[in-house]
Structure 1
């Protein structure tokens, strides 16, 4: 019983680690020099994904969440020709398999030598979405920062639940933009 509890706790910790945003950036860039932003001409999730959840409604939610998060950090939204940085984003949906194996019976056979047990394995297919936000220097057109978050897609959500999920995901992705000093 303790062994099963330990495995469940470890699986929970691994699953929690899998939902942590991933960041990468150019360490030579002076991010404090950037004050304004605009959309990259390639910013459109529909160009990159084919899942039913990737649509115009989700596009609006993502754009609104990015604008609100960057504005809260002091960045000003301007026309692309006047921007210091360009924001691009894209999404993908992949299918993954999850399986559980459980011991269903365990017994000793007295009429012959040996021990017996049976296992049962169940497998489920689920969708995992990845949302990537790229920050590009507008003058050099070079990628300077990237943040991404992967998570299991939930179906049958209300529009409010979808909006809340996007707001949370974008906030987590942009939590490290501009990058914080390393300690």
Structure 2
């Protein structure tokens, strides 16, 4: 019984997982890009009000983006010599989940009446969105953008936070470079 419950929960969570949203300029030949650098003043922490967006998280995001692009054959260089500039930013929003369900119906015939019981529960949670932009250095134009959102968890270890960032960045950059369609 426990295995069935665990398997059902896993299937439900998989169905709820969101895939990154991405967009790009179809006129760009992404195979020409070989080097990357950070967009000047790229930062997560500027103006952030959520404690989870910090300089520690910033280093994790930069490392994850750098690792993913390097694995795709790109080379990190200084901004003056880069083909593309990479920018990133994050936001945190509060969301509310509301569930309403019927807990029962009853009818009594010995005296008149029908009852209907309804229960409503609400839960507030935080959702973080990480956005990664790719800017063509020569034209200074945005050529690719992707975002991924996910529920923020509290009380994670540094290792768990690093793994979550690496997974999110890998999902985002799984669509870079875009494949010709």
TM-score normalised by structure 1 residue count = 0.88
Check conservation: 1:107, 1:116, Cα contact below 8 A.
Answer: yes
Instruction: Structure 1 unaligned segments of length 5 or more: list them.
Output: 1-7
2:123 is the counterpart of 1:132? no
**Greater alpha carbon shift after TM alignment, 38-47 vs 65-74:** 38-47
Could you tell me how far 1:48 is from its partner in structure 2? 4.9
Runs of 4+ aligned residues of structure 1 deviating over 6 Å after TM superposition are none
TM-score normalised by structure 2 residue count = 0.89
Query: How many residue pairs are counted as aligned between the two chains?
Result: 172
The equivalent residue for 2:3 is none
State how far apart, in whole Å, the 2-side matches of 1:42 and 1:147 are. 19
State how far apart, in whole Å, the 1-side matches of 2:96 and 2:41 are. 31
The equivalent residue for 1:16 is 16
Check conservation: 1:48, 1:91, Cα contact below 8 A.
Answer: no
Could you tell me how far 1:126 is from its partner in structure 2? 0.6
State how far apart, in whole Å, the 1-side matches of 2:49 and 2:158 are. 19
State how far apart, in whole Å, the 1-side matches of 2:158 and 2:108 are. 57
Instruction: Structure 2 unaligned segments of length 5 or more: list them.
Output: 1-7
Check conservation: 1:48, 1:92, Cα contact below 8 A.
Answer: no
2:139 is the counterpart of 1:159? no
Q: Please list the CA deviations of residues 38-89 of structure 1 after superposition, one character each: whole Å capped at 9, or x if unmatched.
A: 0001310012532110001100100000000000000000001000000000
Q: Secondary structure at the match of 1:59?
A: helix
Check conservation: 1:103, 1:119, Cα contact below 8 A.
Answer: yes
